[in-house]
Structure 1
Amino acid sequence: MMQFSSTVPAHNLHKFQAIRCPSFSFRCQASSSSTFQKPFVSTESTRLHLANLDKLLETQKPVDPPSQLHHHQQHPHQPIINHPKEKKGRSFLEGLNLARLWPEMKANEEMSPRHLNRLQRLLSMTAEYSPRNILGGRWREYHGSNDWKGMLDPLDENLRREVVRYGEFVQAAYQAFHSDPAMSTEEPPHPRHVSLPDRSYRVTKSLYATSSIGLPKWVDDVAPDLGWMTQRSSWVGYVAVCEDRREIARMGRRDIVISLRGTSTCLEWAENMRAQLVDLEDVPEGQGKPKVECGFMSLYKTKGAHVASLSESVVEEVKRLVNLYRGEELSITVTGHSLGATLALLVADEISTCCAGVPPVAVFSFGGPRVGNKAFGDRVTAKNVKVLRIVNSQDVITRVPGIFVSEELDEKIRRVGGGVLEETTPLAYSHVGSELRVQTKMSPYLKPDADMACCHDLEAYLHLVDGFLASNCPFRANAKRSLARLMQDQSANVKKLYTSRAKALTVNLNRQGSISMSNCLPSPS
């Protein structure tokens, strides 16, 4: 749904806090019924922060020696990032003599060469992620056949990696759109290149969303260079299918991914604001009729001048792929962030019954708002569509549209089940599916009072998931996701301890060549 700019500066710089833990090598024994225990927090010296950083990275491999840096290759499962002015596969921090960049620091007291090397590794775009284990015969369980019961709190290691992996498919959708957002109104769109984070997949279909409303022509006359922001139809995502035999064997099936980005144009923003509920077209009248948000349905069902509606395109492609791979073990995974999370739910609802022999359908959504009423949620559940919502407790977007008085009241409604209250109000919205809840405050790198942009940011979501062990445990000690992109997009919300180190490197993080999710529109990612 909506996205908000991350360029708003913080008004206060809080004292840095570090999570103290006697040992990061323990196993957290927790369950969804466990009592939440806040980690012990203290505001000691910078040395404690660096000690925690040391523990956080204790399992990482040392940085390649300078003589071998030119042989460094990209990890095969990392996101594909273009470096137009740098050698492929080489980190933007590699080759720097970090010790010389901090002449004022006493190595023995605050920043030893080992700390420098490990901080460099953390800031590197080549940081290693959690390993991909063989899912084999348990793939249905990880795809939600049992609603992920017993796998969320504490978070199953394999599920964590799958969630992050699907989030990276959404990042690829953002990057592909913002690399070329404009779309001609005179002719059909040209084929679009998508740099997938997983090379074992191939894009088979581009998807477009169209608004049913329009802006006056004078808007384009006033701002001709920003015409793409007012266009009615825009590229919104893609369908991809796994074609690598080894990856198919690892996952236990051939996976079809439908990936959808969040809000990026003015008209998509306008549709987000049309919060009244409307009836689904294919449901007869009667009490308890499923309803969804008007603007979301508009973007999903409206045809463009030269493109089919998102609904028509995705149904056509799913039918084709199901027929093409008939007889194989298949799954369909729909993933999206913000507005993309809402469209993912509408997609999953429709394709689950679009033809005979549809494989299991699961939704992995990030920072998604409510989509429809409780009857719509019941309809999705009855179709056996499995939904895992990844929610940041500090992300306001996950609590709209509908009733929102305060975070505390919303939390109470969520715990007791707000169906009765929701069904008696004009904005009777309800969430669907299972929930994986993370918190910005649990990250040792992000400010506990991070702004709305950070709390809704997709990279921040993936950072939090990568570090999540359980609701009563501190950030995962061996979390390996790189901080480079997080610092690029959300530097104002990263604790000064880490941003100051990055600035001392005199490195411009924008040299990475990746597309920032927060510079498209004053938006939440």
Structure 2
Amino acid sequence: MNTIIEAEEPTWQELLGSNSWEGLLDPLDLSLRKLILRCGDFCQATYDAFNNDDNSKYCGSSRYGKASFFHKVMLHNASDYEVVAFLYATAKVGHRSAFLFHSHSRESWDRESNWIGYIAVTTDGVSHTLGRREIYVAMRGTTRSYEWIDVLEAKLKPVVSLLRPNARAEHRDDGSSSDSDGDNEKVPKVMKGWLTIYMSEDSNSLFTKKNARTQLLTKIDELIKQYKDEEVSVTLTGHSLVFIT
């Protein structure tokens, strides 16, 4: 008599890489596959919603509001998630805007910023079923030729100052006293152009008086406090504009 032993479902921590996805990749675990596809859908939504029409006064914004966002982009199971925040970015080099492309309309919604993504959470009902509150951060990648101006030269920039204090101290133990040590291989780095976009602010904009990193971390902190009585997972997905936090 043959006995069929069913494999245990991986925990959500394992699905997010707590054990480096050991035993989940070959063959690809079904739950992990569903998570990957879901993240892909969230990422695709940033392209479907982005308004890149130069003749529109809303060029550079999301075509859809937060309340109807997932239904408008026709996300599978759209009612399971809700968008709680939009993310915006700017990048200025002197008096030249290196990242932005502007609407041709004089009534442009905002001539200093571009919409780059959103933060979404599972609804109360879905969270209850899952046993946790899922938080997703989705950011788009480069979509227009103007955006390539800031990233044509792919130099790397140290990001020690963005790390947690203990990690920051660890990387400075090797003799690097600041982010200026770009030649030290042990110091983590990201592309300079994306870091500029991520960390830049613009006092002329209603949307980027705080840089993208501050927008993101502030909202995540609010959500963690809001759902402090629940188990919470945070997943980042997207293309080239997904940054170190």
Q: TM-score, normalised by structure 2?
A: 0.69
Written as runs of structure 1 = structure 2, the 5 A alignment for 1:11-410 is: 138-178=11-51, 192-193=65-66, 195-196=69-70, 197=75, 198-213=78-93, 214=96, 224=104, 232-245=112-125, 247-280=126-159, 282=161, 283=168, 284=172, 286=176, 287=184, 288-304=186-202, 305-306=204-205, 307=208, 308-337=210-239, 339-340=240-241, 343=242, 345-346=243-244, 350=245
Kindly tell me: are residues 252 and 146 of structure 1, through their superposed partners in 2, closer, same or farther at Cα, counting changes over 3 Å?
A: farther
Once the two structures are superposed, residues 234-273 of structure 1 have per-residue CA deviations (whole angstroms, 9 ceiling, x without a partner) of 101000111142x224434210010111112344211221
Query: For each residue in 1:424-481, what CA deviation from the matched residue of structure 2 results, as whole angstroms up to 9, or x when unmatched?
Result: xxxxxxxxxxxxxxxxxxxxxxxxxxxxxxxxxxxxxxxxxxxxxxxxxxxxxxxxxx
| SS of residue in 2 equivalent to 1:273 | coil
SS state of the match for residue 79, structure 2?
A: coil
Give the CA deviation at 1:184.
Answer: 7.0
The CA distance in 1 between the partners of 2:48 and 2:62, in whole Å, is 17
Q: Residue 267 and residue 179 in structure 1: after superposition, are their counterparts in 2 closer, same or farther (change >3 A)?
A: closer
Contact 1:209/1:236 (8 A) holds in 2: yes
Deviation of 1:178 after TM superposition, in Å, equals 2.8
The aligned amino acid for 2:231 is E
Deviations along 1:385-404, whole A, 9 cap, x unmatched? xxxxxxxxxxxxxxxxxxxx
Q: Distance in 2 between matches of 1:254 and 1:237?
A: 20
Q: Percent identity?
A: 31
- Alpha-carbon distance between aligned partners in 1 of 2:187 and 2:232, rounded to the nearest angstrom: 32
Change (3 A) 1:322 1:180: farther
Corresponding residue number in structure 1 for 2:165: none
Contact conserved, 1:248 with 1:255, CA < 8 A, in 2?
Answer: yes
> Aligned Cα RMSD in Å?
3.4
Task: Give distance in 2, aligned partners of 1:159 and 1:190.
Answer: 31
- 8 Å CA contact retained: 1:210, 1:233: yes
Amino acid at match of 2:134: D
Task: Determine if contact 1:204/1:239 at 8 Å carries over to the other structure.
Answer: yes
In 2: Cα distance, 1:165 partner to 1:253 partner: 17
Question: Greater strand percent: which structure?
Answer: 2
Structure 1 distance, partners of 2:13, 2:62, is 37
Contact 1:137 1:252 in 2 (8 A): no
What CA distance in whole angstroms lies between the structure 2 residues aligned with 1:174 and 1:190?
10
Distance 1:195 1:162 in 2: 20
Greater helix proportion: 1
The amino acid of 1:299's aligned partner reads: I
- Note closer, same or farther for the CA distance 1:335–1:183 as it changes in structure 2 (3 Å cut): farther
Contact 1:203 1:240 in 2 (8 A): yes
- 2:13 partner amino acid: R
CA pair 160-224 structure 1, distance change in 2 beyond 3 A = same
For residues 108-136 of structure 1, the C-alpha deviation after alignment (integer angstroms, 9 at most, x for no partner) is xxxxxxxxxxxxxxxxxxxxxxxxxxx97
Deviations 1:268-320 (A, max 9, x none): 21122131112225155614222221101011111133222110100110110
Change (3 A) 1:238 1:180: farther
Against the structure 1 CA distance between its residues 336 and 176, is the aligned structure 2 distance closer, same or farther, given a 3 Å change threshold?
Answer: same
Give, in whole Å, the separation in 2 of the partners of 1:189 and 1:168: 16
- 1:279·1:290 contact (CA, 8 Å) conserved in 2? yes
Q: Is the 8 A contact 1:192 1:206 kept in 2?
A: no
Distance 1:318 1:149 in 2: 28
Q: Cα distance 1:207–1:267, how it changes in 2: closer, same or farther (>3 A)?
A: same
Q: CA–CA distance in 2 between the matches of 1:325 and 1:183?
A: 37
Q: Residues 300 and 311 of structure 1 are in contact (CA less than 8 Å); yes or no, is this contact kept in structure 2?
A: yes
Question: What is the CA-CA distance between 1:190 and the residue it aligns to?
Answer: 11
- 2:83–2:120 CA contact under 8 A, matched in 1: yes
SS of equivalent to 1:296: helix
SS in 2 for 1:155: coil
Question: 1:178 aligns to what SS in structure 2?
Answer: coil
Residues 189 and 166 of structure 1: CA distance in aligned 2, closer, same or farther (over 3 Å): closer
Structure 1 residues 183, 270: closer, same or farther in 2, change over 3 A?
farther
Structure with bigger gyration radius? 1
